[in-house]
Structure formats: structure tokens, C-alpha cells
A and B are shown apart, each in its own frame.
Chain A
Amino acid sequence: MGVSLSTELFMKTNPTVVGLEKISLKNADESAWIETLEQMEQENGFIPRDVADEIARLLEVKLERLKRIQGKIDSTTHQEIKHHVDHWRNEEGNLIMILHAIQNQHGYVPREVAMELSRELGVKLARIYEVITFYHYFKLQPPGEHEVTVCNGTACYLKGANRLIDEIRVQLGISEGQTTPDRQVHFDTVRCIGCCGMAPTMVIDGKTCGHMKSSDIAEHLAKITAKKETAA
């Protein structure tokens, strides 16, 4: 409230500055601020001192708010970790099971969650990362929106999983274990999904497709991207 009041006051006392009225916390959208600033720069050739000060002050207020939001989120993380830890508190050797719970929730193990876990369990962060990095199952990077996994078990390998992998590499422009730059598709290979009767197989968003051919890949990938467009 105080902010907008002072802005109005400022406007009244400095009627010469053009465009300052556009800047307020009410439309605290950085892109709008930038736009106004650029516009001003173009018109005046420079940004007036008072406008710069005002924006700096607003930024500080906004930062303060963001910090409070972050604090709220942190306490949620803390609560969740506490919940997981309490569930496994009395079990010996619970670290792996807790990490499973975290990964199920987030899709990967975020760093701040691992740090919180370290505090809650009283285990050194290095010990937690020692375990996370040892096992293939735990991931440190957020997964993509869609997941494409090619089985590279022996049966699938013999029946041409490599050709599928090559085709996907070409189509998506990424190799195994990577996510497309737009965070849409994550591509990985897996040892064996146990559907050797249907080799070669791939799993697209949890759905297993058997007897795959490299010529089918484009169609399957198109389906994923089509889903994205209709959702948007």
C-alpha cells in the first residue's frame, strides 16, 4: 500500500518524468519494467536518476517477498523430509528407501532436498551423495516432461536396439541420458525391462511398445510432441 502511495506522491512532485506511472509493484512484472526502461532510454537517451532509484527500491521490496516465499517452500521441503524420515526413523539402513521416496516424489533428488535430508538424518551430505551417485536409479537432474526409454538388454540388443537408439539420437538431437533443451523429452537406455518376448522394446511415458522398428520412431515421437501442442 505504502509503495503505491509513495509512487503517486512521486508522480505529483515530478510531473516531467514520462512513463514513471507505469512502474509500480501492482504490475510487478519485470518484463514490463524492462520495457518501460528501454522506452525511456530511447526517448531521453538515458534513464533518469529518480526512476532508477524507484526501480531499485521496488526490486528490493520484491526480493524481500520472494525470500519469504522461498522460506515457505523451504518449510514445505522440511516437512516432507521430516515425514519421510519419520516413516523410516526406526529402520536401520533407511537411507536408500528414503531416497526412493524422494525420487518418486520429485522425479530426481534436488540438491536442497538432499541438504535438508542430511540435516534431518544427521548424516553428512557427502555420505548421501556417495550413495546417490553409486546407484544408477537415482538422478540428480530433473527429468523431462516426457520420457523415452529404449531397452538395451541382451535380447533387444540382438534384435537391433542400437538402430532404435541411433534413430532417436538423430530425431531428437540428443544422446542417452540427456534431455532436449526445451525440457520436453528425456531419452535414456535401460538394462532390461523384462519384456524380452517383445524385443526390441521401448517405453514411452510408461507405456511399453514392443517389436519396434527404427522406421516407427518418428511416428511415436511425433505423438509425444502432438500431445504437448494440444495440451498447450
Chain B
Amino acid sequence: MSEATQEIRTGRSRAGSDVPFYVILSVISGTYVLLIVALLVADVMYMAGTPTKIISSEWAPLLSVVDPILAALAKPEIRYSIQLSLISCTTTAILSLIIAVPIGYLLSRHQFFGRNLIDAILDIPIVLPPLVVGLSLLILFQYVPQVLREAVVYQIPAVILAQLMVACAFAVRTMRATFDQIDVRHEQVALTLGCSRFQAFGMVVLPEARRGLLTAGTLAWARALGEFGPLLIFAGATRNKTEVLSTTVFLELSIGDLEAAVAVSLIMVAAAVIVLIVARVWGTRSLTL
């Protein structure tokens, strides 16, 4: 009797459906994403229905959402604040990368005496309360030569330094993880092929670290944008000088002007979303293999 004449039984799956698995994951993910979106919508709704200051027409009720934002944008101080935020955050992000790449590489590749200690030290800026970071910077600069002090304290460089302290810590962590994931043997082969350490690093390791660089850079940028505690203390909040969007939000909040605070927050969100999307798109395009 050959097999061909026997009946073929349709196998019925007794294992449960895959659907519950995906449902649970989607629910968790969706809830969190919706929560973030809900925050933004709540902010927008808060501004709706409040009397308009700039727009006055029949469209006022509908556009009342946009009105506080326009009112904020109309002020030259806010426009200065936006420019300063964008420029300083970008500067901080680049400086963070310049610092994080060597440190991340060294920590990743080499076992050296005190490595764990250095690791812990690099995490300190993340752990310290932001106000303490600002205060410590201020105290540190008491011991610094006069010229340097005058150029930094309560001036624009203070903004960048304060942002850098925290943003860089995140960049270092990211770059360390990135280098950890790049196979050591690639550099080793490059060395045998005739590269110096610089060439091996630059021609082999860095290209493979591009995604990590982009992540570290955007993380540092975003962190710098949101930072205000150290800035208030170390850089002050002088209009048209050291005021950035994050300090504006805090200060508007402190005088009870929630509307203005929310308006500026939404400007921040818009700026951040634009920059981060642009960076991701441009970065990913150059990363496609």
C-alpha cells in the first residue's frame, strides 16, 4: 500500500492564536504613545477658549488655540530665545559628540585601572539634581582666573556649558554602547591591512558607528533643549541675552501665566520635532546600505 492512496489529514493548530501576544504589546505601546499625544492635545485645548490677544475677527474662537503662540512669537525677546535655543543646543550636541566619541571608545575597548570608577564619575551629571549642577558650576568658577569668569558667568558660554554638562553624559553612554556593539576584530583586521590607529578608527569604526552617532547627537540635542535648572543659576535668565525657551517656560509658569508657558512649550515641541525628524531623515538616508 503506497502512501499516495492514504488520505491526507489537515493539521489543526492546537497552539493558541498569536493574536493575544500582539494585542498586549500593541496595547502597551499604543497607550504610551497616546499618552504623549494626549499631553500635547491637553495643552492645545487649554489654550483654546481663552480670550485672544492678537487675532481679532470672527475666526477668533477657532484660532484661539494659535493666538497665544502668535502672541509669544510677536515678542522680539521670544524670537531671540528661539534662536539662542536652537544655536546653543546644536553647539552642545556637537561638542557632546566630540567628547563622547573618544571617551566611549576608550571605555569600550580598553580595560584600564579605575575603569569602573571613571564609569561612575561619568554618570554623576545624570544623577545630580540639575540645580546642584548649576550651583557647582558657579562655585567652580570662583576659583577660575578673572578673565575666564567674566567671559562665562551669566554670559552665553554659560548656557552652553550648563547644557553640555548633562547632555554629554547621555551622549557618552550612547557612544559606549555603540562601540561595544562594533566587533573589535574589524579594527584588528584594519590594523593588519596597514592602518594606523587613527585610520582604523576613522575608516572602519566610525562609519560603522554612524547610527550611534546620530542617536547620541539627537539625544544630546533634545536633552540640552529641555534643560533649565543649571541655566537659571549659572547663566541667569536675562532677556535678549541668556534666556532660552526652557527658562522662559519655567519663568512664565512661576508668575502664573500658564497660557504663555504652554504656548512657549508648544513652540519648543514644534522646534524639537522638526529638528529631530530632519536629523533622522537626513541621517538615515545617508545610512542606508
Q: Are A and B physically bound partners?
A: no
Chain B residues engaging chain A, CB cutoff 8 angstroms: none
Chain A residues engaging chain B, CB cutoff 8 angstroms: none
